[in-house]
Amino acid sequence: AQKITQTQPGMFVQEKEAVTLDCTYDTSDPSYGLFWYKQPSSGEMIFLIYQGSYDQQNATEGRYSLNFQKARKSANLVISASQLGDSAMYFCAMRGGGATNKLIFGTGTLLAVQP
Amino acid sequence: DTGVSQDPRHKITKRGQNVTFRCDPISEHNRLYWYRQTLGQGPEFLTYFQNEAQLEKSRLLSDRFSAERPKGSFSTLEIQRTEQGDSAMYLCASSLGSGTLSGANVLTFGAGSRLTVL
């Protein structure tokens, strides 16, 4: 069975500093995808970044980068130069093999950016 | 394209009543998903449609829950005889899908329908 673990219920970071949100996963599928979503207080899940299991390089999208360590089964999200608007819940998710694109989510990390 | 739309955004009902949520996906997306999210948890998968066919249902989807996507466009999620444990955010998402694993098939979520059962 697939599983996503996020061990940090909450994190604080100072504005303009970088922060790393942890995510570990478990799967027996040889091919899978890892995603990070942001959920502000409004409730909508916003896609941030994707990493495929066969991708050779770590994914980057603007201030977001994914530190993918396949042997350790970790896919940590790094946010550089934090902004007040980054305060939100962050969810790590995994999509396994098979025909569906169904995502399995972790429990999330609440990030608070302090001025 | 205005993204994934969900209606209503908020619903308060009494225990035992039926409720129905509607989801309008992104028009060119053939896949549609329903998730449930309770306070402090990540979204949990409920069910998935490819076009009008319901291809997967979670064990979380009891027989009081039914979902349809009659013409392969919008979808409805109905909960019959609501219970207080049904109180949650119900999220709809859509994606393209070709049956192969592809990073391009990102799930786009709606803002959710929050259900409160009194």
B60: tokens are: 């979380």
Residue of chain B nearest A99, judged by CA positions: B99
Please give the Cα distance from B39 to A9 (Å, whole number): 13
Please give the Cα distance from B6 to B63 (Å, whole number): 23
Whether chain B has a CB inside 8 Å of the CB on A106: the answer is yes
**pLDDT tens column, A4-49:** 999 999 999 999 999 999 999 999 888 889 999 999 998 899 999 9
Q: Report residue B6's pLDDT band, with 50, 70 and 90 as the boundaries.
A: very high
Tell me which H or E stretch contains B109: strand B108-109
> SS in 3 state form for A62-93?
CCEEEEEECCCCEEEEEECCCCHHHCEEEEEE
Q: What residues form DSSP beta bridges with B79? A: B19, B65
Instruction: Quote the percentage of chain B above a pLDDT of 90.
Output: 75
pLDDT for position B93: 95
Angle at A65 between CA A80 and CA B91, to 5 degrees: 100
Query: Residue B26, SS3?
Result: coil
Mean pLDDT of all residues in A59-87: 96
CB B74 within 8 A of CB B59: no
Mean pLDDT of all residues in B111-115: 96
Between B56 and B21, the more confident residue is B21
Whether chain B has a CB inside 8 Å of the CB on A110: the answer is no
Query: Residue B14, SS3?
Result: coil
Q: What residues form DSSP beta bridges with B96? A: none
pLDDT for position A16: 97
**Amino acid at site B74:** F
Top mean pLDDT of A25-34, A67-76, B51-60 is at: A67-76
Q: What residues form DSSP beta bridges with A94? A: A34, A104
Whether chain B has a CB inside 8 Å of the CB on A23: the answer is no
Q: Which residues in chain B are contacts of A45 at CB distance < 8 A?
A: 43, 91, 93, 107, 109
pLDDT for position A79: 98
pLDDT for position A29: 86
Pick the closest to residue A28 from A3, A56, A60 (CA basis). A3
Residue B31 has pLDDT above 80, yes or no: yes
Residue A98 has pLDDT above 90, yes or no: no
**What are the φ/ψ torsions at residue A85 (nearest 5 degrees)?**
-70, -5
Pick the closest to residue B25 from B67, B88, B78, B69 (CA basis). B69
Residue B1 has pLDDT above 70, yes or no: no
